[in-house]
Amino acid sequence: MVMSASPNDDHSSGTGRYLQQSKIQAALGHAQDLGASYAEVRLMAITDSSVALRDGKLERAIPGQEIGVTMRILADGAWGVHSTTDLQSLPGQVESTVRLAKAVASRRASKDRPVALAEVPILENEIHWKPKKDVRNTDLDTKMHHLMTLHDSASEDERIVSVTCGWHDEHLHTELITSEGMNRTWSFQRSLINATVTGRDGGDVVSYRTRHGGEGGLEVIEACDLGDLGRSAQIATLRLLKAERAPSGKIPLVADRDLTGVYIHEALGHPCEADLVAAGDSCLDGKLGLTIGNDIVTVVDDPTIRGGYGAHPIDDEGLDTREKCLIKNGVLTEYLNHRETAHHFGIAPNAGARAQDGLHHPLVRMSNTLIQGGTHNDLDELIEDISYGVYACGSRGGQVDTGRGSFQFAAQEAWLIENGELTKPLKDVSVSGLTLQILKDVDGLTRDAKLAAPGFCGKGQTVPVGDGGPIMRISEALVG
Amino acid sequence: MLPDDAIDRINAGCKSIGDLCKQQGIEQWEIVAYQSYGHQLDIEAGKISLAAGGGEGGYGIRVVEGGRFGYAYLVDVASAGSALTQALDVARASPSIEGFVLPNAEDAPAVDGLFDQRILDLGPEDLLEQADAILSEVASLEPRAVVTGGGLGVGATASAILSSQGIESSGITTSHGIGVQVSIDAEDELTSSYEGDSGRQLLQDVPACVSNAVKWAQITRGPIEVDSAPQDAPVLMTSEGFSPLFSMVVPTALRGDRLVRNESFWSGKNNEQVLASDLSLIDDGRMAGGKSASSRDGEGVPTRRQILVDKGQLVGSFWSTRDAAQQVAEGRITNAQTTGSAVRGGHQAPPGTGCKDFTMVSSKGGHSQEALLERMGDGYIVHSVMGAHTANPTSGDFSVTTSTILRVEDGQIMGPVKQAGLSGNLAGALLEDVHLGDEVRIQGSYSSGSMHLPDVLMMQGLRINPA
């Protein structure tokens, strides 16, 4: 049976680790003997818990433990990868994985460069971001209490026909051992609570979802006024029942913190991922050092923001994470990269490698991405000179075509702006545009940049992210 | 790829956990196991960038006591005892659903075409050769075209279910998938298209999705000027463009629990017309070779072919055993039974409810693209959309963006539009004057199942907003 060894086999041996260092180092050495220039084994053990509440009743509660391990081998300038839930089988896969890498390398055209990795500091240590309240110690009653608070406040109206609340927490433990001598272990937690509220009035049915969460344990949930979160969702749902369809066309757009975050994630963050740039699939190829946005636009991606849903202490290639400044005053200053793309572009590695779990290999990913604040004091000041526009709030998600540089994101609700004031509530607002145009059209930002609601980013693999910023004004956007 | 004794091993694991349940005197229990193996290649920048292989799997345990259920999952049979304790703890904290019991064993004839020995026999070298063939094909079709992303893979999954109610079933399914992002970056213009193909059976070395990706990257070049004013217009959505939106909105609206809880735009419309009078929606859990078909559903209940919408009238819905018992117990419906529509995404969660292999057909039959364009007159063809996942499954409203859109005038394709918004209410757009193409293609989806859809011409209810 190919299943994982029990974590208890090795984990309880006193080291606090799952991987047996001597066995793994022997396997990596074997890979080098077979011609590998680099090899690594990365393990991730996830202890998680999901709870769902539907109309105030426990729908499901699922405790779980997953463990996965991925061996990545670079031979002849190409990658071979093996992933499994069976830790013990890993040494036996070294030869076939080296063969895989060499088979890929043998197909490389003479014009193509072999894969190589940027030099990085070789570290041997452990970093554990301790939560204030370890979420693994949170019992089901406590989770139910918080979910009920959210539910009760969201459902106080007869037009609310359904409230579904969810909880997810996870403790992530990662170990990385490489043929270069890197030997690192790190851990942290994430906690999340959410609700989807459905309202109905006659034949009209609408829904609104809300989320709160971040890196950390139970304290993340306790820091949120769940009653207020639920009431806000309820009010928004009822407002949507009366909302009109949004106008279509190119008009001024003001986006709240949530949407500003999704906008910058989709429109700029993804095209800044160096693996996409190297693949010829980014509109920002060749634009490092060039002005691509209004000079009020400064964007950072920062995994070190504790509490952000995309926070993590070490990237999945073993580098200490750090802030990356993607745009400084409108100038493209840095791609997000990992070791392979850092070498490809001849730039310093900036710890942008993330994998979904222990069964996936790392890709270049965002973490906590936000636009820095500007000079406007508040929303009123941003909209006071807009005669006709839209103020869009809350995110339903977005998508980008990084190559074409076109993006789309959708709002949960919106308001019509008429003569400098918010007038009618609107629904079904989506915004689309071209990255290289719309960054120049950002012409107003409030001072207070903060991370907004937590999110998830898909790029073949799904990873938690944080994004946000201030309230943002775009002089002209395609609203649909 | 798959160990010879893979099925024996997961059956033994299920039995071991089942024996533990019996020892603990658990009223009802159900064990599922999945173990997948596979090989895959990633393609970037016109070359194979990575080759990977491996396996993963685990077990899920559902226990039911007095209508209360609990669930836990694990990867190692040795930790079944603690997982079982967790599942029981959850069950005891859960509300009782009157009448909820696990389903009893019933015969479930096998479904053909879910396994292909040729896939099991494929090794990484075979995939590398297939990737070479795909890259060569793209270069031969369009010298400027580059496969900037995508990949291909094969897999085999051994699965098993064992329950206290006598359900004992196991089997192996195979899969083969290919997806390519083709870009043409020349003369200061970059166009691209992503196309994919997948199935239970071995695909052709170079499936049609490859030339389609090249074609759409080509024909969207050189955008023409169109009136930028938003306009209500007929839209012909190709199967590839329509499926993401359709799968995001329609299967969810047909879930029985959502219908009776007023969470669907079709709530309260049983036996009423909800689609154009020639359209029917059918879910076939037993479709031979179906990407989502199986002899049993996620609870071990035999799957079936069922009509959800018959010539425009809502006549059916998706139910699992638990959903049916819960909604009856809560008084939202007087009678509901499982329709064999329990679905699982793996061992990490209890079964949900959804479609399998889902089709939309017209009693008027299908039409050629030429005939559809002639009927359209002036309008647009949309081949892919961005943001389908932001469509609202509760209301059916959507507002998405497309960069693969062609302007049609007087039934003739005039040329591509650089970018446009597309919005409307999908349920409303399908309510009348809908015409289907004559070639059904299989698409992935945002739902639990696979979509089998032709091109769809919607004459009303949609708004185009050119950039």
> What would the pLDDT profile of A160-207 be if each residue is shown by its tens digit?
999 999 999 999 999 999 999 999 999 999 999 999 999 999 888 999
Check CB contact of A162 with chain B, cutoff 8 Å.
yes
Q: Angle at CA B318, nearest 5°, toward B336 and A202?
A: 85
The distance of B265 to chain A (nearest Cα, Å) reads 7
A362 touches chain B (CB under 8 A): no
Which residue from B50, B74, B463 is facing A81, i.e. has the nearest CB?
A: B50
Tell whether B139 is within 8 A of chain A (Cβ): no
- Predicted confidence (pLDDT) at residue A13 exceeds the cutoff of 50: no
Per-residue tokens: B42: 């990633």
CA neighbor of A405 nearest in space, from A469, A344, A318, A332: A332
DSSP string, A402-422: TTTTEEEEEEEEEEEEETTEE
Contact state of A408 with B52 under an 8 Å Cβ cutoff: no
Contact A63 B90 (CB under 8 A): yes
The number of C-alpha atoms within 13 Å of B299 and in the hemisphere containing its C-beta is 27
- Residues B229-285 have pLDDT tens digits of 999 999 999 999 999 999 999 999 999 999 999 999 999 999 999 999 999 999 999
B392 contacts chain A (CB < 8 A): yes
Cα–Cα distance for residue pair A196/A180, rounded to 1 Å: 48
Please, which pLDDT band fits residue B1 given cuts at 50, 70 and 90? confident
Q: Is A406 on the interface with B (CB under 8 A)?
A: yes
Element (H, E) at A31: helix A21-33
Of A22, A143, A42, A36, nearest in space to A83 by CA? A42
What average pLDDT score do residues A138-144 get? 96
CA distance A178 to B100: 51
Cβ–Cβ of B79/A428 closer than 8 Å? no
Residue A479: closest CA among A444, A437, A427: A427
> pLDDT tens-digit profile of A373-432?
999 999 999 999 999 999 999 998 888 899 888 889 899 999 999 999 999 999 988 998
Residue A210 reports pLDDT greater than 70: yes
Mutate to test the interface with B, among A104, A110, A158, A461 (most CBs of B within 10 A): A104
What is the model's pLDDT at position B228? 87
User: Any idea what the Cα angle at residue B189 is, between residues B186 and B194, rounded to 5°?
Assistant: 90
Nearest Cα residue in chain A from B78: A6
Whether the per-residue pLDDT at A101 is higher than 60: the answer is yes
Helix (H) or strand (E) holding B461, with range, is: none
- How would you classify the pairing of strands A183-201 and A124-128? parallel
Q: Say if residue A14's pLDDT is above 80.
A: no
Please determine, for residue A4, whether its predicted confidence score (pLDDT) is greater than 60: no
Torsion from C-alpha of B266, B272, B278, B284, nearest 10 degrees: 60
Domains of chain B: 6-219 (3.30.2290.10), 231-466 (no CATH)
A248 interaction partners in chain B (CB closer than 8 Å): 230, 421, 423, 463, 465
DSSP annotation string for A76-95: TTEEEEEEES-GGGGGGGHH
A 191-220 residues inside an 8 A Cβ radius of B: 198, 200, 204-207
Beta bridge partners of B160: B33, B170
Give, in order, the Cα–Cα distances in Å from A443 to each of A388, A439, B9: 16, 9, 63
Is B463 part of the contact surface with chain A (CB cutoff 8 Å)?
yes
Taking alpha carbons only, the member of A115, A89, A124 closest to residue A4 is A89
Beta pairing partners, A212: A193
Per-residue exposure over A421-431, b if at least 16 CB sit within 10 Å of its own CB, e if not: ebeebbbbbbb
Q: Could you give all domains of chain A from N- to C-terminal order, each with its CATH number?
A: 7-242 (3.30.2290.10), 245-479 (no CATH)
Averaged confidence pLDDT in chain B: 96
CA A247: distance to chain centroid? 31
Cβ contact A3–B75 (<8 Å): yes
Query: Does residue B194 surpass a pLDDT of 90?
Result: yes
Does B232 lie at the interface with A, CB-CB under 8 angstroms?
A: no
Cα(B420)–Cα(B385) distance, integer angstroms: 10
Contact criterion met (CB < 8 Å) for A403 and B148? yes
Cβ distance of A81 and B267 shorter than 8 Å: no
**Stretch 82-141 of chain A: residues touching chain B, C-beta under 8 Å:** 82-86, 93, 96-97, 99-101, 103-104, 107-109, 112, 115, 140-141
The enclosing H or E element of A432 equals strand A430-434
Q: Where are the alpha helices (DSSP H) in A246-313?
A: 257-264, 274-278
* pLDDT score of A8: 38
Q: Point out which residues pair with A446 in neighbouring strands.
A: A376
Q: Which residues share a beta bridge with A231? A: none
A351-366 exposure pattern, b = at least 16 Cβ within 10 A, e = fewer: bbbbbbbbbbbbbbbb
Sign of torsion over alpha carbons A289, A293, A295, A296? negative
Q: Which chain B residue is nearest to residue A111, measuring alpha carbons?
A: B47
- B72 and A63: CB-CB below 8 Å? yes
The predicted complex's ipTM stands at 0.91
Residue B303 half-sphere exposure, CB side, CA atoms within 13 Å? Answer: 25
Cβ separation of A81 and B54 shorter than 8 Å?
Answer: yes
According to the model, what pLDDT value does residue A183 have? 98
Q: Mutate one of A1, A11, A48 to test the B interface: name it (highest B CB count within 10 A).
A: A1
Tell me if B299 sits within 8 A of B375, measured CB to CB: no
DSSP-derived secondary structure letter, A181: S
CA-nearest of A69, A24, A23 to A45 is A69
Please name the member of A58, A82, A279 whose beta carbon is closest to the beta carbon of B53: A82
What is the rounded CA–CA span in Å between residue B152 and residue B132?
Answer: 11
**Residue B262 is which amino acid?**
N
Distances (CA, A) of A267 to A371, A400, A439, B432: 12, 7, 8, 37
Is the predicted pLDDT of residue A9 greater than 60, yes or no? no
Distance CA A135, CA A475 (A): 44
Instruction: Please report, rounded to a whole number, the percentage of residues in chain A having pLDDT higher than 70.
Output: 97
Q: Does A74 touch chain B (CB under 8 A)?
A: no
Number of CB pairs, chain A paired with chain B, less than 8 A apart? 276
Give the integer Cα–Cα distance in Å for A400 and A6.
41
The pLDDT of residue A435 is: 86
- State yes or no: pLDDT of A12 exceeds 70: no
Cβ neighbourhood burial of A457 (10 Å; 0-12, 13-18, 19+): buried
Angle at which helix A21-33 crosses helix A94-106, to 10 degrees, equals 40
Question: pLDDT tens digit string along B384-429?
Answer: 999 999 999 999 999 999 999 999 999 999 999 999 999 999 999 9
Query: Alpha carbon of A216 to those of A132, A134, A314, B61, B337: distances in Å?
Result: 7, 8, 15, 29, 43
| Cα atoms in the 13 Å half-sphere on the side-chain side of B414 | 15
